[in-house]
Structure 1
Amino acid sequence: MVFELAHIVILPGKAAEFEAGVAEAVPLFLRAKGCGGVKLHRTIEHPEQYVLQVQWSNVDDHMITFRESADFQEWRRLVGSYFKEPPVVVHTEVVVE
């Protein structure tokens, strides 16, 4: 299992619209091959910064299967206009619990 962590900075004053777009997009992720869940975290100290956390079976389910799908294009349509800059995406694995 891996976690996609997408660090997202949005345009000022667009939090409600962005969060609504993410909520609308959740089913797109959940029906994707290998997706085990999705969460959106807002940074308390910097409310225009978010971390999207998506659980995947493996990196390829995210980077190939999902990123090359129509659902990814719909995700970007729903939220992309709120991005202040391109998201920074990393993949992590749990090494200590």
Structure 2
Amino acid sequence: MIIEHALLQVKTGQSDQFVAAMNKAKPLIAVQPGFQSIAVRPAGDRPDHFLLLVKWDNIESHRDGFRKSPEYQEWRALLHDFYDPMPTVSYFGPSIFS
């Protein structure tokens, strides 16, 4: 299992619209092979900032599966105009703690 991590900086004043769009987009990612779960958390101290955490079976499920799927094109159309700048995605492995 890996965790996809991205810090999402939403354009000022567009958080409510972003949250609505993310709710529409969630089913697009949830049906992907290798998808486990998604969490989108608002920053407690910075308006218009969100933390995206997606659990995947492996990196390929995201990079080679979802990102090349027709659903990803819909995801992009719903969400990518909200970001400034575009987020950087990182992948993290299992916890070092048992």
| TM-score, normalization by structure 1 | 0.95
- Written as runs of structure 1 = structure 2, the 5 A alignment for 1:8-87 is 8-87=8-87
Q: Give me the whole-angstrom Cα distance separating, in 2, the residues matched to 1:9 and 1:42.
A: 10
Unaligned runs of 5+ in 1: none
Deviation track 1:12-69 (CA, whole Å, cap 9, x = no partner) reads 0000000111111111111001000111011111121111111100000001111011
Counterpart of 2:96? 95
**Displaced runs of 4+ in structure 1, greater than 6 A?**
none
Structure 2 portions without partners, runs of 5+: none
**What SS does structure 2 have at the residue aligned with 1:74?**
helix
Cα distance in 2 for residues equivalent to 1:31 and 1:40: 17
Whole-angstrom distance in 1 between the partners of 2:23 and 2:6:
16
Aligned counterparts of 1:96 and 1:62: Cα–Cα separation in 2: 25
Number of aligned positions between the proteins: 97
Report the Cα offset of residue 95 of structure 1. 2.1
Give the Cα separation in 1 of the matches to 2:61 and 2:52.
16
Q: Tell me the C-alpha RMSD between the 2 structures.
A: 0.9
| Letter of the structure 1 residue corresponding to residue 97 of structure 2 | V
Tell me the amino acid that sits aligned with residue 65 of structure 2. T
